[in-house]
Structure 1
Amino acid sequence: MQIIVRDNNVDQALRALKKKLQREGVYREMKLRQHYEKPSERRARERAAAVSRARKADRKRAERDK
């Protein structure tokens, strides 16, 4: 990953770096890796996330069909 600092504006470059890290999911992964997660807990979390995504897609589809 590379961030270009323009006109010695480090604050703007830092903001761009944080945005890229957020988009890549680095912060989420760091949070998940702070503590060990049992495989069964991981499967349950991923399954819950999949259900949530499916419900959201259904809601959006229902809104679009109205």
Structure 2
Amino acid sequence: MQVLVRDNNVDQALRVLKKKLQREGVFREMKQRRAYEKPSERRAREKAEAIRRARKLARKQAQREGLLPAPKQKPRPAKPRPATPASPTPSLTPAAGGF
């Protein structure tokens, strides 16, 4: 896995790396491997994960077909807009009727 560091901005590169690792499931797997997992526990966990995936897929399909209402969108906070420079004052010219 590779992350580019731009303009010596290591903090941003670390954030990008953590996001990639999170998306790949590396942290979840590390936590899981800290202790021994019995084969029966592993089978039960994998079965539960498969059921969860199947339910999620069925729910998404039902939403696409219109059988279930779409999930409510969370209102995102508005980003602060950068200050725009003040508009230049119109100059008084004979065409504008200033003289």
TM-score using structure 2 length: 0.62
User: Equivalent residue of 1:34, what SS?
Assistant: coil
Q: Which residue of 2 aligns with 1:58?
A: 58
Aligned Cα root-mean-square deviation (Å): 1.0
- In the TM superposition, what whole-angstrom CA distance separates every residue of 1:8-54 from its partner, at most 9, and x where no partner exists? 11110110110111122110110100111001100100001111111
Q: Gaps spanning 5+ residues in structure 1: where?
A: none
Output the CA distance in 1 between the equivalents of 2:6 and 2:40: 47
Counting aligned pairs with the same residue, the percent is: 74
Output the CA distance in 1 between the equivalents of 2:49 and 2:18: 24
User: Equivalent residue of 1:4, what SS?
Assistant: coil
Whose radius of gyration is greater, 1 or 2?
2
Output the CA distance in 1 between the equivalents of 2:25 and 2:13: 19
Q: Which has the higher helix share?
A: 1
Counterpart amino acid of residue 39 in structure 1: P
Structure 2 residue 29 is matched with structure 1 residue 29:
yes
Q: Shift of the alpha carbon at 1:55?
A: 1.1
Give the count of matched residue pairs. 66
Q: Gaps spanning 5+ residues in structure 2: where?
A: 67-99
User: Equivalent residue of 2:43, what SS?
Assistant: helix
Q: Which residue of 2 aligns with 1:8?
A: 8
